[in-house]
């Protein structure tokens, strides 16, 4: 039992030693290959050390790895604001982003307005074109009517009056005796006596 206990303790200390070695190696690696943070973590700031981190996903700087303490070198901007005065450049950058978003929104609204105006314009154009088509068709019909009338007149001039529907006296001329019976005398009620 005791042996077993010693064995466990030994292995624990071994593990601790191994961890310590690993930590130091890691610290050296970060120290040599990491990039320096423009704003050092609280520890490096206080101790005036060079604060270096391996990547943007690293959780600790080289010094904090070595010291085995929590590091705030890479805490997000929002969290940093809790501890530090906001930098003017951060505010300016945000101001710029807000302006850009507002401008983009304005542009989108303008485009939407233009699209709406275009739609209204095209609708009106369709209406106007339809009206013109109708007017053109009506003019064509009128022209046809005039042409027909002219042709009829020419035919009449050439071949004499032509019976046409709509003329009341569209039947054979009444006989003289029939007219006498009516007491109309010699007058013949002929409508279109060609002139």
Footprint of Zn ion (CB under 5 A): 41, 43-44, 51, 61, 63-64, 71, 73
CB closer to Zn ion out of 27 and 63: 63
Contact, 66 vs 23, CB < 8 A?
yes
Distance from C-alpha of 165 to C-alpha of 174, rounded to nearest angstrom = 19
Contact, 52 vs 40, CB < 8 A?
no
CB of 61 to Zn ion, least distance (A): 3
CB closer to Zn ion out of 3 and 48: 48
CB of 39 to Zn ion, least distance (A): 10
CB of 106 to Zn ion, least distance (A): 44
Distance from C-alpha of 72 to C-alpha of 55, rounded to nearest angstrom = 14
CB closer to Zn ion out of 58 and 179: 58
CB of 88 to Zn ion, least distance (A): 24
- Structure tokens of 185? 């005398």
Nearest alpha carbon to residue 19 among 62, 57, 66: 66
In the numeric block, the tokens 């029939």 are attached to 178
CB closer to Zn ion out of 70 and 101: 70
């Amino acid at each position: 039992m005791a042996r077993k206990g010693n064995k466990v303790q030994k292995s624990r200390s071994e593990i601790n030693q191994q961890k310590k070695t690993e930590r130091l190696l890691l610290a050296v690696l970060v120290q040599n290959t990491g990039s320096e943070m423009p704003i050092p973590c609280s520890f490096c700031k206080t101790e005036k050390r060079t604060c270096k981190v391996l990547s943007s996903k690293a959780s600790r700087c080289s010094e904090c790895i070595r010291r085995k303490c929590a590091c705030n070198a890479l805490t997000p901007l929002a969290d940093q604001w809790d501890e530090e005065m906001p930098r003017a450049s951060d505010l300016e950058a945000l101001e710029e982003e807000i302006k850009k978003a507002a401008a983009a929104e304005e542009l989108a609204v303008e485009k939407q307005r233009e699209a709406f105006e275009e739609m209204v314009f095209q609708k009106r154009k369709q209406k106007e074109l339809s009206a013109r088509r109708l007017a053109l068709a009506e003019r064509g019909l009128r022209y046809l009517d005039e042409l027909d009338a002219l042709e009829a007149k020419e035919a009449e001039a050439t071949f004499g009056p032509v019976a046409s529907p709509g003329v009341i006296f569209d039947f054979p001329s009444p006989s003289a005796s029939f007219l006498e019976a009516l007491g109309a005398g010699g007058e013949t009620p002929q409508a279109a006596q060609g002139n």
